[in-house]
Structure 1
């Protein structure tokens, strides 16, 4: 029996139950991991509330982590006991041990810690597909990144800056302005004190942005569309403030024949080859020091409810992790 955090019914953070579960031996094509750190992400709260339906109840919450292989199931050839492993996969993340499909884990380089990995697999690989696949950021690109001091935001700002983009970031408080600047934002807007669309127009001299990366959702729509140049792209990849409702497709025409997409990481890492390519790109930029993974707070596994409470209240910046 090992410690885990399970959900028996949908609801607020109080439904996160710290209890003992039986993990068992790995089956065909599986590995068993002793987890050293577990990531905490907004997608975990979506499954907790029922915004994203879980396959069944009860289930172990959590979508990313890192640790070492402690057992290998039948048919697994690429893993051995003692290997360092990291992953992102819906469910079963908040636990001291877990089973993982062998083809969904990636080998963790020695120069990246378990804590870094737990804080970056979902957020860092999300950043990678956003900046390199959904809209390919190049030198000279002008990008707007909402929630620039958040988990994805801090990684995305650094990576976009590293690629040579002009980076405009939005934040929700004065305290987060310096954080956003420190991770590569050339301009920072406090959207609770300023009209961010108006400020983007001023900053860019009316040229607007090539792309807006929007993980906030309801609170930044439809104003995000006013920040995009004709034929530019709105990338809505999260719902931190609630989902966008009643999306008006006609606005894309009115605002300059814009493109809009609602991507998810799992579509971009569906195959083993895509997963490894994405993870290795992330490991390269982090390993080189071009992108740093800020772990702003570490919670004990038993305090997962508090971690999610703080995340939803916007009390956190960067990545937060749980330690089993």
Structure 2
């Protein structure tokens, strides 16, 4: 077993009880040892995601105490018994496992992915979760076809900017929604063909106007309650509404008959976990995303960098929609 440094303690954000941003406390805790099939990672960068906010606030139930942060990148510091896939010094990243808001974290090998030389730790932590989300949405949930038009809500957000780029790469015309002038500019720079300011325009009628009354092939909606009605009304006949998040609140129960009257449309509530369910699928999707970043075909916009001790401020900024692109704890 590779030994980690002599340092026996590390810093970590600890949540004893779910609640507001102040529930996150920076503490000195013992450095964990990797068990069988696990590695200890020196964490260089951590992505800040809405799921972190949900888990911290209690919107998602999580056993306490816990260290939040489900996306991070760094280098292997030590390997546990039986680990052969990674050695000390290997550059790695992971998503969908807690513990990232710390100096070091123990991660099962099955959930780790290699980071190529041409991708920085910041880029890896900024793209793995949202990049794989945008990838499965545009490549699998509704595989965008050349010449189709799709709608992306919150097009200047972390996932939104990646969705716009990946949909464009597959040959789509992309309509995005965004509020401020700055957010609209960012969405256009990412490739959005049309932008609807949802604060001043009714989205669904605007979409109909932009599509000669047809509607869009797919709507990628990570907002939820505030956008659901417009999303449903924006679809073409037999279109797909991929409701992949609820940043703006949960959608109330829906009468299935509404899918019929909307034009025999499809409603799905996908989750990344089901699109990286096997090790092979995880490695393939991560490699695709990192390959796009490495080649420059997928640009990652880091909207804010915070110290580990500033995690509460990062959560406040994200929840208040004060940010664009991806937030990192570095």
Report the TM-score when normalising by structure 1: 0.98
Unaligned runs of 5+ in 1: none
Correspondent of 1:200 among 179, 198, 207? 207
SS at structure 1 position matched to 2:31? coil
SS at structure 2 position matched to 1:59? coil
Between the aligned partners of 1:284 and 1:213, the Cα distance in structure 2 is 23
Structure 1 residue 85 corresponds to structure 2 residue 92: yes
Correspondent of 1:184 among 178, 182, 191? 191
Q: Counterpart of 2:118?
A: 111
Q: Counterpart of 2:4?
A: none
- Listed one character per residue, the Cα deviations across residues 43-101 of structure 1 (whole Å, up to 9, x for unaligned) are 111111222211x1010011100000000000111110000001102311111100000
Report the TM-score when normalising by structure 2: 0.96
RMSD (Å), alpha carbons: 0.9
Structure 1 residue 254 corresponds to structure 2 residue 261: yes
SS at structure 2 position matched to 1:138? coil
Correspondent of 2:177 among 163, 170, 179? 170
Alignment of 1:207-222 (within 5 A): 207-222=214-229
Unaligned runs of 5+ in 2: 1-8
Q: Counterpart of 1:279?
A: 286
Correspondent of 1:12 among 13, 20, 33? 20
Between the aligned partners of 1:11 and 1:101, the Cα distance in structure 2 is 28
Structure 1 residue 34 corresponds to structure 2 residue 42: yes
Correspondent of 2:10 among 2, 5, 8? 2
Between the aligned partners of 1:143 and 1:58, the Cα distance in structure 2 is 41
Structure 1 residue 25 corresponds to structure 2 residue 33: yes
Structure 1 residue 134 corresponds to structure 2 residue 147: no
- Listed one character per residue, the Cα deviations across residues 137-193 of structure 1 (whole Å, up to 9, x for unaligned) are 121121100000000000110111111100000012232111110001000011011
SS at structure 1 position matched to 2:241? strand
- Listed one character per residue, the Cα deviations across residues 252-297 of structure 1 (whole Å, up to 9, x for unaligned) are 1110011010011011112101100110110121112111011111
Displacement of 1:18 after TM fit?
1.1
Between the aligned partners of 1:247 and 1:307, the Cα distance in structure 2 is 34
Q: Counterpart of 1:312?
A: 319
Displacement of 1:24 after TM fit?
1.9
Q: Residues 237 and 265 of structure 2 are in contact (CA less than 8 Å); yes or no, is this contact kept in structure 1? A: yes
Between the aligned partners of 2:230 and 2:173, the Cα distance in structure 1 is 20
